[in-house]
Amino acid sequence: MRRSAAAYWTGFCVILALLAVAPLVLPEFWRRFVTEILIWGLLAMSSDILIGYTGMVSFGHSAFFGLGMYGAAAALMVVKPANLWLALVLGLAAAAGVAVFVAFFATRLRDIYFAITTLVFSQIFYVIIFTWTDVTGGENGLTFARPALSIPGLFSVPFTTETLHWFVLAVVAVSFLILRRVTQSPFGMVLQAIRENEPRARAIGYSVERYKIVAVMLSGLFAGLAGILYAIQNKFAAPDFVFFLVSGEVVIFNVMGGMGTLVGPVAGAAFFLLLREGLSRYFTEYYLIPVGIIFTAMVIFMPQGLLGFARRRLNQ
């Protein structure tokens, strides 16, 4: 046990170091690409709390992601000069607001009903954002300037590709550590108990609904954080990111990488984005045809995902 823990942290540090060096050695296009993988990986990790640990498949993560995005956009557009920390706070507040709303209603339902309700909620927010043109820019979305990387009273420098990558890496790494700690805490254990056998968890005396609400809110907060990072990286917010296809992609990340592992969804996001990048050179916009076939085959033949598959291979 001790040795495997040491091996785990060594692996963690090696990967962290590799990711930290990445922008220094990679060409410009791949630098942005790695940053993007990290952001989508954070979104995938956040939904893993629900899908993998609590056994609730959410098809509504685009709502949290998108509201984080629009919250950050609001802060960056209204307040001059644009402030990074204000964007973070407002984005998180927006995502948390949605999360409270969704959690309150959706957690009363189970299985497919939960999936459909989260989907419908995200579509409600999509329709609102899409049609409320005066505030959200409607179909065109919002564009804004990137804030400077600053610590109030200490320094303030504009983001470069490298510093942006490191900033994202730091946020994602810290989020990973927090989420990992949460899943190993007594709270996380109760979530896994709910996944394994909900009636029994209730019979033992846990207030299952309350745990589920907190799980959805936690998940929504981190999904919102990913949305804020994406807004800062790309300097725009668009209703497309609230559409339920994004939620579907997040579920794909989880299935491809391996649910209930936290690392798996990040690997799944990387795998998916690499696959998309590689395939779209040959298939242009039709890359989803082969990706969809691979995904469906993985659901049928590899339900543990890449990570589970690799682990089983290594154990043999």
Partner 1 sequence: MGLPVEQILIQTINGLVNGMILALVASGLTLIFGIMDVVNFAHGELVMLGAFVGATTIGMTGNFWLALMVATLAIAAFGAILQVTTLRPLLGRDPLTTILATFGISLVLQKYALWQWGPSARKLQEPITAQFSLFYLKYPWYRIATAVLAAAIIGALFLFLKYGKFGIWIRAAMQDRVMAQAMGIPVPLVHTVVFAIGAGMAAASGVLFGPLAGVTQNIGADFTLRAFIVVVVGGMGNLGGSILAAIFISLLEAYASLIVSPAQAVIVSFVALILTLLFRPTGLFVPTPK
Q: Are 37 and 277 in contact (CB under 8 A)?
A: no
Q: Are 146 and 82 in contact (CB under 8 A)?
A: yes
SS3 143: strand
Q: Are 62 and 119 in contact (CB under 8 A)?
A: no
Q: Kindly write out the interface string for residues 212-251 of this chain, putting x where it contacts partner 1 by CB under 8 A and - elsewhere.
A: --------------------------------xx--x--x
SS3 151: strand
In the chain, the N- to C-terminal Cα span, in Å, equals 19
> Counting runs of H as helices and runs of E as strands, what totals does the chain give?
14, 4
Choice from 7, 10, 15, 111 touching partner 1 (CB under 8 A): 111
Binding segment for partner 1 among 115-123, 163-171, 205-213, 269-277 (CB under 8 A)?
Answer: 115-123
Choice from 18, 140, 289, 312 touching partner 1 (CB under 8 A): 289
Choice from 252, 262, 270, 273 touching partner 1 (CB under 8 A): 252
Q: Under the criterion CB under 8 A, does residue 100 sit at the interface with partner 1? A: no
Q: Which are the contacts of 278, defined by CB distance < 8 A and separation ≥ 6?
A: none
Choice from 255, 266, 269, 270 touching partner 1 (CB under 8 A): 255
Q: Which residues of 265-283 are buried (b: 16+ CB within 10 A; e: fewer)?
A: bbbbbbbbbebeeebeeee
Q: Which is nearer to partner 1, 155 or 301 (CB)?
A: 301
Choice from 120, 148, 149, 310 touching partner 1 (CB under 8 A): 120
Nearest CA to 172 out of 236, 251, 226, 220 is that of 226
Q: Under the criterion CB under 8 A, does residue 57 sit at the interface with partner 1? A: yes
Q: How far is the CB of 73 from partner 1 (least distance, A)?
A: 22
Choice from 21, 127, 174, 178 touching partner 1 (CB under 8 A): 127
Q: Which residues of 122-152 are buried (b: 16+ CB within 10 A; e: fewer)?
A: bbebbeebbeeeeebbeeebbebebbebbee
Q: Under the criterion CB under 8 A, does residue 123 sit at the interface with partner 1? A: yes
Q: Kindly write out the interface string for residues 128-167 of this chain, putting x where it contacts partner 1 by CB under 8 A and - elsewhere.
A: x-xx------------------------------------
User: Which residues contact partner 1 (rule: CB under 8 A)?
Assistant: 57, 105, 108-109, 111-113, 115-117, 119-121, 123-124, 127-128, 130-131, 244-245, 248, 251-252, 255, 285-286, 288-289, 291-293, 295-296, 299-300, 303
